[in-house]
Amino acid sequence: MDDVTSPGARRGFGTRLTHGSRPAVRSHGFVNPPLHRGSTVLQPSCEARIENAKHRFERVMTYGTQGGPTHYALEDMVAGIEGGTHCTIVGTGLAAVAVPLLAFLRAGDHCLMPDSAYGPARNLAEGLMTGWGIETTFYDPTATAESLAALWRPNTRVLYMESPGSHTFEIQDVPALAALARARGAISMIDNTWGIHHFQPFAKGCDVSIQALTKYVGGHSDILLGSVTVNSQAHHHAVRAASSAMGHYASPDDCWLALRGARTMAVRLAHQEKAGLEVARWLQARPEVDRILHPALPEDPGHAIWKRDFTGACSLFGVVFQPRYAQEEIFRFVDGLQLFGIGASWGGYESLALPTNLAVVRRVTPAPAAQIVRLHVGLEEVADLQADLAQALALLPR
Ligand SMILES: Cc1ncc(COP(=O)(O)O)c(C=O)c1O
């Protein structure tokens, strides 16, 4: 089988997802690669064991925690999706946030994180990282290179980004911010879960890309998994060393399921992008709605940068209600939905709704002063989803 997932391969996204990471040699003609489970990896001799351990970050298999063939197949798939050279799989998307932060930051360092960041990333910065003597400044996610430069310190070591913010959907000017980080000798990292393959982080100048594979790659709400992809061997060794030192690991069963999810991701994503935009536009015309937070809509403040930097969108967006509604009224609307489940982990085949907790995001920079509901549009028929939203909107006071 060709290495069609390799960076620079010219075939289309769907073709690469279909044919990548299917090593013909070990599959005996079966379409899918085998699943390898294991802790002990038997070594041919004591000398070989010592020698092999020196190359454990280069896929010389020495022990289960360093990964095995099933992990490597998924790593190649994800590196191909994002255009990186090396990928490390970890047990959750949150672990994929934590590992590179802790790989590149030391006591006395300073980190810049957007005020819109995924809540648990913020918790890590404010909690454990602060305890270890690493200081974080939360910056306006719409910062320009000039305004971010004003927050820069001599000890700023990591610039963290998440574009768009997964609760308030601000698009960041990643190429400009990543270029600033590079010029100042810092590491730039991005949570690219929303962008998946629509945003190519390394082509835009980032050093590290984080994915919660739990979302669209898994695609079926039945696994938790994360990836850290980089673009150089030096960064790969730093990530692998941190991940290994902390005992991070992912179940090969889950890696196998993520590979299976990836095979159908191109069609799911294309369908969900279209369905999500149809639902977003329908909601935009409703009198109960003030505005929609979706960078693919031309009226969104982040649209120009999204159009410049992304090739598409996923189906996660925000609905800002008219300011006249109180939280309990919006809760009644969400509770009244029948097809949209109340749940957090987006990217599956099913639609979800979740009131946004603005106490967790946008604490430093001003946030919309109204109730926001985050919607994830799944694979149900759009007309059924619209009918469900209409009946729940009818529960709001006139
Ligand atoms: C943007 C973003 N990054 C990371 C994660 C963490 O993923 P996981 O649930 O696999 O820990 C999430 C989960 O909701 C997320 O939304």
pLDDT in tens, 341-395: 999 999 999 999 999 988 777 888 877 778 999 999 999 999 999 999 999 999 9
pLDDT of residue 366: 77
The residue whose CA has the least distance to atom 9 of ligand 1 is 93
193 lines ligand 1 (CB under 6 A): yes
pLDDT of residue 365: 84
pLDDT of residue 7: 47
pLDDT of residue 25: 59
pLDDT of residue 128: 98
Flag whether the pTM goes above 0.85.
yes
For the chain, where do the domains classified as CATH 3.40.640.10 start and end? 13-263
344 lines ligand 1 (CB under 6 A): yes
Q: How much distance in Å is there from the Cα of 28 to the middle of ligand 1?
A: 36
pLDDT of residue 67: 94
The residue whose CA has the least distance to atom 7 of ligand 1 is 93
pLDDT of residue 9: 53
The residue whose CA has the least distance to atom 10 of ligand 1 is 93
Q: For the structural domain made of 13-263, what CATH number should be given?
A: 3.40.640.10
Q: How much distance in Å is there from the Cα of 150 to the middle of ligand 1?
A: 30
H, E, C per residue of the chain: CCCCCCCCCCCCHHHHHHHCCCCHHHHCCCCCCCCCCCCECCCCCHHHHHHHHCCHHHCCCCEHHHCCHHHHHHHHHHHHHHCCCEEEEECCHHHHHHHHHHHHCCCCCEEEEECCCCHHHHHHHHHHHHHCCCEEEEECCCCCHHHHHCCCCCCEEEEEEECCCCCCCCCCCHHHHHHHHHHCCCEEEEECCCCCCCCCCCCCCCCEEEEECCCCCCCCCCCCCEEEEECCHHHHHHHHHHHHHCCCCCCHHHHHHHHHHHHCHHHHHHHHHHHHHHHHHHHHCCCCEEEEECCCCCCCCCHHHHHHHCCCCCCEEEEEECCCCCHHHHHHHHHHCCCCEECCCCCCCCCEEEECCCCCCCCCCCCCCCCEEEEECCCCCHHHHHHHHHHHHCCCCC
371 lines ligand 1 (CB under 6 A): no
Q: How much distance in Å is there from the Cα of 190 to the middle of ligand 1?
A: 13
For the chain, where do the domains classified as CATH 3.90.1150.10 start and end? 265-393
pLDDT in tens, 132-161: 999 999 999 999 999 999 999 999 999 999
Q: How much distance in Å is there from the Cα of 197 to the middle of ligand 1?
A: 16
224 lines ligand 1 (CB under 6 A): yes
Q: For the structural domain made of 265-393, what CATH number should be given?
A: 3.90.1150.10
Which ligand 1 atom sits closest to the C-alpha of 97?
4
99 lines ligand 1 (CB under 6 A): no
In a structure prediction context, what are the per-residue pLDDT tens digits for the chain, which is 398 residues long?
334 445 445 799 999 999 999 876 567 888 998 999 999 999 999 999 999 999 999 999 999 999 999 999 999 999 999 999 999 999 999 999 999 999 999 999 999 999 999 999 999 999 999 999 999 999 999 999 999 999 999 999 999 999 999 999 999 999 999 999 999 999 999 999 999 999 999 999 999 999 999 999 999 999 999 999 999 999 999 999 999 999 999 999 999 999 999 999 999 999 999 999 999 999 999 999 999 999 999 999 999 999 999 999 999 999 999 999 999 999 999 999 999 999 999 999 999 999 998 877 788 887 777 899 999 999 999 999 999 999 999 999 98
288 lines ligand 1 (CB under 6 A): no
Q: How much distance in Å is there from the Cα of 211 to the middle of ligand 1?
A: 8
118 lines ligand 1 (CB under 6 A): yes
pLDDT of residue 352: 98
